Amino acid sequence: MTAPISHDPGMARLDGLPAQACGIVAFLTARDSEVLRLKALGVCIGRRIEVVRPGDPLIVRAFGTRIGLSAALARHVFVDVCSYQHPDSVPRGRA
């Protein structure tokens, strides 16, 4: 399920964001081993990420690279939603 974010940016779980939503990773609630995996993939606190394709797996973009995350792992990533669209966002239908 996706949550509308266009009028009220704020904190949200990564797995609840729609395609093209951008956010800054605020905190992670996963176990230590999962946090290490997320960091190795580039999903760490302070990182700007964009949802390319919601679902399972959830596809995000970080530093121009696409990363696939299971929905179970993505639900542990909380982001501060950007109030604007990321300049490198993928146009709809081109994920």
Question: Which residues have a Cβ under 8 Å from the Cβ of 43 and sit 6 or more positions away?
Answer: 25, 28, 49, 60, 62, 67, 69, 77
Q: What is the CATH number of the domain that holds 21?
A: 2.30.30.90
Q: Supply the range of the domain harboring residue 77.
A: 11-81
| Residue 33 belongs to some domain of the structure | yes
d(CA 84, CA 74): 22
Q: In this predicted structure, what is the pLDDT of residue 63?
A: 85
What is the arithmetic mean of pLDDT over 71-92?
A: 75
pLDDT tens digits, one per residue of 44-59: 999 999 999 999 999 9
| Residue 69 belongs to some domain of the structure | yes
Q: In this predicted structure, what is the pLDDT of residue 87?
A: 52
Query: What string of DSSP letters covers 12-42?
Result: EEGGGPPTT-EEEEEEE-S-HHHHHHHHHHT
Predicted model pTM: 0.75
Number of domains observed in the structure of the chain: 1
3-state helix, strand, coil split of the chain in percent (to 5) is: 20, 35, 50
pLDDT, mean over the chain: 83
